[in-house]
Amino acid sequence: MSAKPERSATDLTLNEQRLQAIYDSVNDGILIQDQESGAILDVNRRLCGWFGYAAEDLLKLDLGRLGLGLWPYTGETAREWSRKAAAGTPQTFEWLCTTQGGSLLWLEVNMRLADIGGQDRLVVTAGNITERKRVEMENAGRLKRAEAQNAVSLALAGVGPDVAAALRLIVHHLAVQVGDLCTLNLVGDVDFFKRFNDLNGHVAGDGCLQVIGEVMRDVFRRVDELPARYGGEEFAVVLPGADPDTARQAAEKLRQAVAARRIPHGASAVAPYVTLSLGFVSARVTSGTTPDWFISWADEG
């Protein structure tokens, strides 16, 4: 009879070990949270691996402090989700976090109230959706770029807004892409284009500009780049987040690509073929930023 309690204790230990192995090996991240304080009471290895923390370090944090820290991924929002789940209504939401190494981590979170060992706890399961969100944002960026380019094309074709509206669109696109981050706007025009038109005629001039437009589209293919004409022979390229060296390299790449086409220009004072003059400006976009400001500063550059 005395052996039975000892066997029961052994069985219990084995069961706990099996449960712990399952807890740590599932694909989802799991944490147990105190419903009153929001403190993390337990966490599985999957979640520790995603965040790059040891379990003991992760237990010193909470869901709010793991968030990005910018609305809506703040401690206040995390506490609101916890309050709703503690009231008995399971919550599902997306949560943008930062890892210990500073990388962004997107989680799809499921939070619900559960009885664990006779105490009410919040059980949080999370799936890593970082790659899915990256693809979604890239697709959204492509859509915004296509819409902006289409609107600019309509403006230049005379069936949409006027040239001033096209300029406003370019600045708006820049603001949509990067908010108030440091950005660059590359602008330029065709050297001695009036002389080109006078010598070759307006049909040849339009053909020249079409070729330059094709070159710009070939050179600037990234999702967040926006090449656009905003006047007769004038154009702009939005390069969100580029540093000055990157802008200079982009300008030189465009200049060389146009020169490589060797479009004859018998009236140019600088070369026997069509060339470009380029400038750029670096600035923080605000609600008061105007297209004229960008163009004038870039022209001076």
Q: Split the chain (301 residues) into runs of 10 and give each run's mean pLDDT.
A: 52 56 77 91 93 93 89 91 95 93 92 92 95 86 64 46 51 46 62 90 88 85 70 72 79 91 92 88 59 58 51
Instruction: Say if CB 226 and CB 173 are below 8 A apart.
Output: yes
* CB contact at 8 A, 77 and 64: yes
Q: Are residues 108 and 122 in the same domain?
A: yes
Do 153 and 280 lie in one domain? The reply is yes
Question: How many domains does the structure of the chain reveal?
Answer: 2
177 lies in the same domain as 247: yes
- Report the distance separating Cα 9 and Cα 256, nearest Å: 79
CATH number for the domain including 239? Answer: 3.30.70.270
- Do 283 and 261 lie in one domain? The reply is yes
Same domain (yes/no): 84, 114: yes
What the block records as the tokens of 158 is: 């005379």
Please answer whether residues 239 and 248 qualify as being in contact, where contact means their C-beta atoms are separated by less than 8 angstroms. Answer: no
Q: Residue 254 contacts by C-beta under 8 Å, 6 or more apart in sequence?
A: 186, 188, 215, 216, 219, 220, 237, 276, 278
CA distance 53 to 40: 13
- Report pLDDT for 178: 42
Say if residue 109 is in the same domain as residue 239. Answer: no
pLDDT reported for residue 171: 54
Instruction: Report pLDDT for 294.
Output: 58
Quick one: which of 129, 123, 126, 124 has its CA closest to 105?
129
> Which domain covers residue 189, as residue numbers?
133-300
Query: What pLDDT score does 163 carry?
Result: 46
